[in-house]
Amino acid sequence: MAELVSSPGKSGGSRLHRMPARVDLTAMVDLAFLLITFFILTTTLSKPKVLPLVTPPPGPSAPVAASSTMTICLGKNNQALCYVGQGEKPLTTPKLVNYDKELTDMIIQAGKQITAKGKTMFVIIKPSDHSVYKNLVATLDAMNINNVRSYAIAQMVPADITLLKQKGIY
């Protein structure tokens, strides 16, 4: 049984003895545990949000035309290098972008150029050794936001590393 006992205080000149006050705290402790149990059982825990990533089945890869391919090379300092084509021969001038609205604008712009030719856009995402995981997730989010259905995560090639070094983000 839980109880609260207050010690008798000294009163100036009074000769009356007071009995200590005793308060039974058992009911309050029971109520506290009932409330804690109630809130634990009725709390909805947040579900983890995952980004679905579909990987192709193993086998030979299908060639994709450079004119319908957009390449995004992820560099350091939260910047990426975007261009249409392959690293050896980019069809557009490589442009340095941040991971906010600039990356989305580049994806939309490249998508319009490629679909105007009657082709489907394919995006190759190439993280460098100096990029961070957060930037890869931001790029994958941009793919989902802009409804890009065909994209791949690939390794950097020497031509891409050279482009990143020229822009100072490798």
Q: For each successive 10 residues of the chain (170 residues), what is the average pLDDT?
A: 59 65 86 93 79 72 84 92 86 88 90 88 92 91 88 89 89
Per residue, the 3-state secondary structure of the chain, as one string, reads CCEEECCCCCCCCCCCCCCCCEEECHHHHHHHHHHHHHHHHHCCCCCCCCCCCCCCCCCCCCCCCHHHEEEEEECCCCEEEEEEECCCCECCCCEEEECCHHHHHHHHHHHHHHHHCCCCCEEEEEECCCCCHHHHHHHHHHHHHCCCCCEEECCCCHHHHHHHHHHCCC
The structural domains of the chain, with segments of one domain joined by +, span 66-167
* pLDDT the model gives residue 80: 93
- What CATH number labels 66-167? 3.30.420
Check residue 11 and give its pLDDT.
54
pLDDT of residue 60: 79
Cut 0.85: pTM above it: no
